[in-house]
């Protein structure tokens, strides 16, 4: 089974993808982690690296191509990233996580240990605008178009284990449908 987990920054995609990969013993491919690692390797924060990625399409294309190639080449894979649902065409289940901006910013603030919540909000808005621009320019993708996704979940009120239970129910339905057909 191939599963994608996508959503805006702070929506919980990495937490859910890690949890599912651990409980199902699947391989996890995380575009966000690759992006953060590439930024750190260059001594840049995510916002500055995003601005550079706007000038250099090769950055996004490298991340997306690497993720797609790995995800489409095998089974028992979870691909986590903003565009995973768009890029991994043969995924059995494509999940989009969403949460209100204030919830996501609070998570980002605590995760990234930023100086204050206003900085977290500013950086999040900047990052989202940068990514939306790049996705539109590079791939003609509107990140707000959720049509590729099979399951859209709001992570504001649900913890990772609750979200995982919902996803597991969807997986059972997909597996049952495969055995019946």
Q: What is the per-residue pLDDT across 147-161, written as a single tens digit (0 to 9) for each? A: 999 999 999 999 999
Beta bridge partners of 6: 96
pTM for this model (two decimals): 0.86
- List the strands of the sheet with 151-154, edge to edge: 27-30, 77-80, 2-7, 93-98, 151-154
Percent of the chain exceeding pLDDT 90 equals 57
For the structural domain made of 2-175, what CATH number should be given? 3.40.50.300
CA distance 4 to 31: 11
Distances from the Cα of 134 to the Cα of 4, 48, 64, 122, 129, angstroms? 20, 14, 12, 18, 9
Beta bridge partners of 3: 78, 93
Q: Residue 158: which of 50, 12, 35 has the closest Cα?
A: 12
Q: Residue 125: which of 50, 62, 57, 59 has the closest Cα?
A: 50
Distances from the Cα of 55 to the Cα of 33, 44, 64, angstroms? 21, 15, 16
Which one has a higher pLDDT value, 70 or 167?
167
What mean pLDDT is predicted for residues 64-83? Answer: 85
The ranges assigned to domains in the chain are 2-175
> Does position 129 have pLDDT exceeding 80, yes or no?
yes
What mean pLDDT is predicted for residues 164-170? Answer: 97
> What count of Cα atoms within 13 Å lies in the side-chain half-sphere of residue 16?
30
Place of tokens 């909000």: 121
- Report the pLDDT value the prediction gives residue 32, as an integer from 0 to 100: 76
Confidence class for position 121, pLDDT limits 50, 70, 90: very high
What mean pLDDT is predicted for residues 54-61? Answer: 84
Which one has a higher pLDDT value, 94 or 75?
94
């Amino acid at each position: 089974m191939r599963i994608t987990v996508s959503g805006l920054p702070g929506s919980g995609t990495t937490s859910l993808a890690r949890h599912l990969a651990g409980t199902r013993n699947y391989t996890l491919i995380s575009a966000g982690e690759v992006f953060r690692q590439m930024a750190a390797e260059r001594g840049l924060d995510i916002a500055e690296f995003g601005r550079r990625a706007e000038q250099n399409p090769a950055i996004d294309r490298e991340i997306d191509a690497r993720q797609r190639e790995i995800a489409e080449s095998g089974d028992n894979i979870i691909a986590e990233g903003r565009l995973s649902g768009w890029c991994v065409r043969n995924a059995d289940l494509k999940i989009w996580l969403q949460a209100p901006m204030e919830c996501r910013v609070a998570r980002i603030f605590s995760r990234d240990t930023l100086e204050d919540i206003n900085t977290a909000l500013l950086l999040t808005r900047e990052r989202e605008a940068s990514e939306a621009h790049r996705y539109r320019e590079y791939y003609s993708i509107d990140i707000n178009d959720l049509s590729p996704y099979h399951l859209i979940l709001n992570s504001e009120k649900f913890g990772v284990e609750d979200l995982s239970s919902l996803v597991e129910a969807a997986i059972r339905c997909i597996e049952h449908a495969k055995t019946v057909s």
